[in-house]
A = this chain, B = another copy of it.
Amino acid sequence: MSTGQETTGGEVEPWDEVTPDAARRLLVAAVEAFAERGYHATTTRDIAGRAGMSPAALYIHYKTKEELLHRISRIGHDRALDILRTAARREGAAAERLADAVSSFVRWHAGRRTTARVVQYELDALGPEARAEIVALRRQVDAEVRGIIEDGVASGEFDVIDVKGTTLAVLSLCIDVARWFTVDGPRTPEEVGALYADLVLRMVGAK
């Protein structure tokens, strides 16, 4: 049921933009630690230890522990938004674009689950101004998906009563993948992506 060509969904490590090397190692270590134990349960000594450095080294590259979370959250949301934008702005019917958006978004949440977990569940640990910046990005994420659904409704492809509520549900379904997905589980990110794209097309009454 409706795949066609798809945009790639976050299979590469996207931390190349973080330099120098030591700063990137610290950030990757922080992603792992935050994903495993949560922001508040993670100590700066744990992050530094995972990166093979002393606790003090962290403060050469980052002002505070919260700045680490902020950087991770910012880069992660940029990536998520990029994935959805790519799918939303390609050529094709609304059904194809929605299926592509969902499957690549889900593949990112499953395949890069540690990052997604931090991005989606540690928002409240940020201070007010950093959180406001991230919330703005989330609104753009919502707008991309809502745009595709509105297109489908306008063209008669979809049958949706509550566009805002359905958009919320679609994103909610995708995001929760970061909560339950495990690499030891029976499904690959690609399989979950395909299943969820199918389920979402049913939700919007495609065809």
Contacts and interface: CB of A to CB of B under 8 A. Distances in A.
Contact of A202 (B38, B192, B203): B203
A130 interface: no
A37 to B, nearest CB: 7
Copies in the complex: 2
Contact of A173 (B124, B162, B176): B176
Interface string A158-172: 000110011011001
Contacts of A37: 40, 124
Nearest to A41: B40
Contacts of A125: 38, 41
Nearest to A123: B179
A180 B180 CA distance: 17
A119 interface: no
Contacts of A38: 38, 40, 124-125
Interface string A180-207: 1000000100001001101100110100
Contact of A196 (B40, B169, B177): B169
A109 to B, nearest CB: 11
Nearest to A161: B198
A20 to B, nearest CB: 31
A94 interface: no
Interface in A34-80: 37-38, 40-41
Closest 10 CB pairs of A and B: A40-B40, A176-B176, A40-B41, A172-B176, A165-B195, A199-B203, A202-B202, A173-B173, A202-B203, A169-B199
Interface of A: 37-38, 40-41, 121, 124-125, 161-162, 165-166, 168-169, 172-173, 175-177, 179-180, 187, 192, 195-196, 198-199, 202-203, 205
